[in-house]
Amino acid sequence: MLRRALPRRPEARRILVGTLLSSVGRGLTLPFLFIYLTDVRGFSDPRAGLVIGWYGAVTLALSPLGGTLIDRFGARRVVLPCLLVSAVGTGSLALVSGTVSAFAVITLIAIGSSAIWPGQNTILASLTDPDEQQRVYGLNFALLNLGIGVGGLISGAVVDVTRPVTFQLVYLLDAVSYLIPALILLSLPRVGHRVAGTGPGGRAASAGGYLTVLRNRPFRRLVIFGLVLTTCGYAQLEVGFTAYAVRVAEVTPRVVAWALAGNTVMIVLSQLLMLRRMEGRSRTGGLALVGAVFAGAWLVLGAAGQIGPGNALVAALGVVACATVFGFGETMLSPVMPALTNALATDELRGRYNAMSSMIFGVSGVIGPVTAGPLIGAADGRIWVAVVVGGCLAASLLALSLRGLLTPAQDGRPPATAPPRTPLPTG
């Protein structure tokens, strides 16, 4: 299965290696930013949520520009400087001492991050054929989570809220990890350049802009689905999940690290199998199932919060189970969203399509952290659980409504076989 999932071109394989190695650094810090700001730097929960939400706001504001620059100059010229800026910003988190410095550093990180994801997806799309893109995007996600899980296990054994230097160390290591994909991209001088589209007769095609992208009705529906799902799903992992687990279920940060490890184990063990199972099946049906799985994961966490306090084992098992179930949903979402985005995109606007897809995470990155704190603080977190469960189920309905707007090829289904024609009677 691994051999089948690997891209045909060696350049694409090297890009995947960069994803794996750099994600180890990301895993060192991913679960702990909220805890670092509150328990180490003394921020209140709402103030920490605003700082993290500011990251989403800046990323959202700059993502359209990133997509335009990718289409105009090529992903390579955009991704390389963004990786360097992200490295500087992430390393600077180790020096944060107050609100002003926190907002300044988060702004720098957001500037760097605004074009990395759409740029890398655009590069992978240019190095892979349509028939292998879904598999390659799924493998890319599996490697990303493998690295995050390894990094999470390392940081879970190292970080200690009574020793700020342990947090500073992992942020510096995360900064260094951004340099790895930059070096790999530098070693591939022919990769990531601008795609020049041509129209009939060899004339330059009119690329249009974001208005052209937004006129694509199926893509608009996909964006709405993504906004609802990520706001009630991914955007809750860094703040909502962590805060609920620590504040309501009363588990330790180390249990949170174990939970992310369980999430990673689920993804690594099941991603290749899911890629094989999803071939030839409806992508929109898979997206609908993702919403249902995410809703189930939050229900498990909600049960841990209501039963767990006073019973450390039950609380820990519930938190780990939530992250593990969530990971199963991710194995279906990770290959489908980028593959469907690029199936709806044109070469001339591919950077903008991928930028808008990443903007989904920017919008949800604003709403999720800002709202999670107050919702978790109300009614012992029960309101937060109800909101995220209901949102994930609403996303499932949106995914089902998308199917009628797609061709069978775009939806990943085999084309319908036309019935044999009955010959006309003669004579």
Q: What is the 3-state secondary structure (H, E, C) of the chain?
A: CHHHHCCCCHHHHHHHHHHHHHHHHHHHHHHHHHHHHHHHCCCCHHHHHHHHHHHHHHHHHHHHHHHHHHHHHCHHHHHHHHHHHHHHHHHHHHHCCCHHHHHHHHHHHHHHHCCHHHHHHHHHHHHCCHHHHHHHHHHHHHHHHHHHHHHHHHHHHHCECCEHHHHHHHHHHHHHHCHHHHHHHHCCCCCCCCCCCECHHHCECCCCCHHHHHCCHHHHHHHHHHHHHHHHCHHHHHHHHHHHHHHHCCCCHHHHHHHHHHHHHHHHHHHHHHHHHHCCCCHHHHHHHHHHHHHHHHHHHHHHHHHCCCCHHHHHHHHHHHHHHHHHHHHHHHHHHHHHHHHHCCHHHHHHHHHHHHHHHHHHHHHHHHHHHHHHHCHHHHHHHHHHHHHHHHHHHHHHHHHHHCCCCCCCCCCCCCCCCCCCCCC
66 vs 423: which has the higher pLDDT: 66
Q: How confident is the model at residue 225 (pLDDT cuts 50, 70, 90)?
A: very high
For residue 5, tell me if it sits in a domain: no
For residue 32, tell me if it sits in a domain: yes
* Tally of domains within the chain: 1
Q: What number is the average pLDDT over the span 187-201?
A: 70
What integer pLDDT is reported at residue 217 of this predicted model? 93
- Flag whether pLDDT at 12 surpasses 70: yes
What integer pLDDT is reported at residue 206 of this predicted model? 44
- Flag whether pLDDT at 203 surpasses 60: no
What integer pLDDT is reported at residue 311 of this predicted model? 84
- Flag whether pLDDT at 224 surpasses 90: yes
What integer pLDDT is reported at residue 205 of this predicted model? 42
For residue 141, tell me if it sits in a domain: yes
What integer pLDDT is reported at residue 378 of this predicted model? 73
Q: Please tell me the total number of residues recorded for the chain in this structure.
A: 427
- Flag whether pLDDT at 332 surpasses 50: yes
Q: How confident is the model at residue 399 (pLDDT cuts 50, 70, 90)?
A: very high
Q: What number is the average pLDDT over the span 58-68?
A: 87
For residue 137, tell me if it sits in a domain: yes
For residue 205, tell me if it sits in a domain: no
Q: Which of 357-366, 371-380, 389-398 has the highest mean pLDDT?
A: 389-398
Q: How confident is the model at residue 15 (pLDDT cuts 50, 70, 90)?
A: very high
Q: What number is the average pLDDT over the span 201-219?
A: 71
For residue 206, tell me if it sits in a domain: no
Ranges 49-58, 73-82, 347-356: which has the least confidence: 49-58
294 vs 47: which has the higher pLDDT: 294
Q: How confident is the model at residue 418 (pLDDT cuts 50, 70, 90)?
A: very low
What integer pLDDT is reported at residue 387 of this predicted model? 93
The mean of the pLDDT values for the chain is: 86
- Flag whether pLDDT at 42 surpasses 60: yes
User: Residue 100: which domain range?
Assistant: 10-189+212-405
- Flag whether pLDDT at 235 surpasses 90: no
331 vs 157: which has the higher pLDDT: 331
- Flag whether pLDDT at 208 surpasses 50: yes
For residue 388, tell me if it sits in a domain: yes
pLDDT digits (tens, 9 = 90+) for 98-129: 889 999 999 999 999 888 988 998 899 889 98
What integer pLDDT is reported at residue 223 of this predicted model? 94
- Flag whether pLDDT at 199 surpasses 50: no
Identify the CATH number of the domain in which residue 118 sits.
1.20.1250.20
For residue 38, tell me if it sits in a domain: yes
pLDDT digits (tens, 9 = 90+) for 75-104: 999 999 999 999 999 999 999 988 899 999
pLDDT digits (tens, 9 = 90+) for 245-292: 988 888 887 888 788 778 878 988 888 888 888 888 899 999 999 999
- Flag whether pLDDT at 14 surpasses 90: yes
